[in-house]
Every structure is written in structure tokens, then in C-alpha cells.
Amino acid sequence: MSSALEGIATVAQLSGIDGLKLIGMIVKAASTAKMHKKNCRQFAQHLKLIGNLLEQLKLSELKKYPGTSEPLELFEDALRRAFILVNSCQDRSYLYLLAMGWNIVYQFRRAQNEIDRYLKIIPLITLVDNARVRERLEIIEKDQRVYTLDDEDMKVQQVIMKPEPSKDDTVVLKKTLSCSYPSMPISEAIRKENEKLQLELQHSQANLDVHHCEFIQHLLDVTQVVAATSLPEKSLPAKPIKVEHGYSDAESNKETCDESYRKNTDKQTTPRNTSSVSSKQDLLSSKGSHQYEEWHSDLLGCCSEPLLCIKTLLFPCGTFSKIATVATNKHISSAEACNELMAYTLILSCCCYTCCIRRKLRKQLSISGGFIDDFLSHLMCCCCALVQEHRELEIRGINAGIQKMKTSPPLPQFMES
């Protein structure tokens, strides 16, 4: 757990703060976020709409009655979790936040859905007969924000997750760290990242989370690689000067980085190197489970969703348009989907077109499979395949109306607070 979050690490430690104050804290934290700035600010804008609504209601009166205090407490608990999420985008390790990118994006989506859901069950809001209140509630319901990962952040994320970064990759990482710590030299930025990642590692070890420990260990290895490649640039003129460039606090750490990355000769670094190499091998061997997952629903399990199955059978363009929107990263209406399907049907290649969309969706969601599997799925039963794809989006909590979608994070990884 990062030191900056130690004072407000749990929902319980934020108890006693009402909804309006929590929204104000979230808006303030969003304005100073270092990562996921766009997501934080969009989330804050949505909460401002809710705050404007709550200002018209006397929520303190609701807490006096058991029947109304419970839903209000659930709503405020959701806001407390949201504050911890937004605040973490400022205080946690930069590399950690980058590597966990899509996981955090999903948490923003879940946080907004959760807050909106609890808002609707607060009795005073649902029962009040006020045109202005109803109007604002409708605005909140229609305010569906798009939470996504920037293209640049996604490129750096891919570099971070490489088992063996190249020289070009380390240059990218050094530039990224320099931008994230503009007032610090690269050596100080690496030391800062190491400190934060070590705290994350300790927290994961305390929770006995093996997969997350391996994940954080990989990030520590990445910082070692960056440190090892940046050392020669500063210490080339004379090796004894290596310690004299502001490395006093992390002297032993940098020396072990240099030794462990090139040759395992130093006795002090042998245990560290062994764990680093083994963790890399574990990450490599488990990368399939981290990057490539299986479908959460069976191809022939469409009968478990009879309404969706019937809807897809009668109006396949509606279901297909939602799938294609996520797969192609651009909004596709039902009419556009219908035109595309009709056009490809005329040249007897409709099945090829739909299976190509399925293939793109698999890549976005990191689902294992091949082109032949996709083709056969749509050839045998196109309706079943569309239902399976639509159900996958629902299970993963991906709003079909969201237009920007690139990839999904490894499911075993999760934000810890």
C-alpha cells in the first residue's frame, strides 16, 4: 500500500463524511491526478451533476430514519470507494498505474454504475414530486461517460509488460518516467518508483496474492532494466563517480541493478537475481492466463438468455452493431450494421465479415482462439455466436454504447487499496 494512501486506505477510515463532502473531495482529487486524468475528470464531472441534485435535498434528515438511512449509507460507501480510486491515480506508482491501465478503467465504469444505482434507491429522490429534481435525475441517467485508456498510455503499457525490454523500450520508459516526474532526475524518479512498488509488493505479500506479487516483481525488474541502462550514461567518464550523482539513498539498489542485469557475479545480488529471473519465468509461463482468456459463456449456451436469443434472431443488426462498436473502436448504428451485412450477403461473404468482427473482439478482450474457430462459430450458428459475444460484453461490464475500446486487462490483476 502506498504511503500516501495509508491515512485513507479503507472505506471505514472515511466514515463520517457525508455525500456532498465526499463529492467535493473526489472533484479536488481528480483535478490533481497524474494518471488517468481524463477518466478522473470525466468521473468528477458526472459526480458534480449528482452533487447539484443532492444540494436540493436535506440528506441529513434521511439519516434519522432506519428505512432511509441504509440506502443512503450504501450510496456514501460507494462514494468513499470512488474517492480512494481517484486519489490513487495521484499517489501510487506511475508504472503500476500504467500496467494496470484497463483494470482501472473498468473500475471507473463500475464506480459510476454503482453510484448511479444507489442514487436511484434513495427514497427521497424517487418519491419527491419536483419537476426540477426529476429533470436533473434524468440528466444524470443520460450522462453516460466514456472511460478508456489513451493510446500513448496503452503503448507504454505494452512496453512495460514485455518480458525482455529492448534498448528502444528502455528509452521509451525513461522518457515516460521523466515526464511523470518532471522536477526529478531520472535516477531519483527510478528510486521513487522502486519505493512505491516495494510498498505495493509488501501489501500483496501480506494478502498472500501470488499472481499480484509476480506482477509487481516484474515491474520492479523493469525499473532495474531502466536503471541499468541509465547508469553507463552517467558513469562513463569515470566509474568511481557512479555514487556521486545523487544516488546516496539508492546506492546498493543501483549497483545490484547493474550487476544483476548483465552478469550474476555479485554475491549480494544473487538472491535478488534468482527471484527476479524466476518471477520473469513465472510471468512468462503464466502470460497465457494473463493475456489470453476463455469465453465466459458457451457458444451453445444462448438458451440461457432466451430474450436476447429471440431478439438477436429477429433483429441481428441490433446485437451486431453493439458488438461491432466495441470491436472496431467506433460507433456503428443498427442501420449501418444492417447495410454492411446486406452488402456482404450480396457477395456471399456475410459469414466472413461477422467472423472478422468476432476476431477483432477477441483481440480487444484478449480471448484465445483462431480465425478458423471464429469462422466455424459463425458458419454453424451465427445467432449463437452473436449472443455469446454480446453476453461476453455484459459479463465484463462493458457498456455496448462505449465507443472507445482497445484491449482488456488481465483478469487476475486488480487494484488494491
Question: What is the tens place of the pLDDT at every residue in 115-163?
Answer: 888 887 776 555 555 666 677 778 888 888 888 888 888 888 888 888 8
Find, among 180, 272, 286, 191, the residue nearest to 231 by Cα: 191
Return the pLDDT at 292: 54
* 233: confidence class by pLDDT, cuts 50, 70, 90: very low
| Length of the chain (residues) | 417
Long-range Cβ contact pairs of 336-344 (< 8 A, separation 24 or more): 341/316, 341/317
The 10s digit of each residue's pLDDT in 348-371 is: 778 888 889 988 888 888 888 888
Distances (CA, A) of 244 to 115, 178, 234, 247, 255: 52, 20, 10, 7, 13
Please state which of the ranges 4-13, 250-259, 327-336 shows the lowest mean pLDDT. Answer: 250-259
Q: Taking the alpha carbons of 328, 45, 120, 79 in that order, is the dihedral positive or negative?
A: positive
Give the Cα separation of 44 and 40 in Å (integer): 6
Domains of the chain by residue range: 3-148, 153-291, 301-395
pLDDT higher than 50, residue 227: yes
The H or E element spanning position 304 is none
**The model's pTM:** 0.53
**Mean pLDDT estimate for the chain:** 74
The 10s digit of each residue's pLDDT in 35-84 is: 888 999 999 999 998 888 877 776 666 667 666 677 788 888 889 999 99
SS3 content of the chain, % helix, strand, coil (to 5): 75, 0, 25
Cβ pair 193, 220 in contact under 8 A: no
Q: Looking up cell 549480494, which residue turns up?
A: 268
What stretches of 32-99 show up as alpha helix (H) in DSSP?
A: 37-54, 59-62, 66-91, 94-99
Find, among 387, 389, 383, the residue nearest to 361 by Cα: 389
CA atoms within 13 A on the CB side of 252: 4
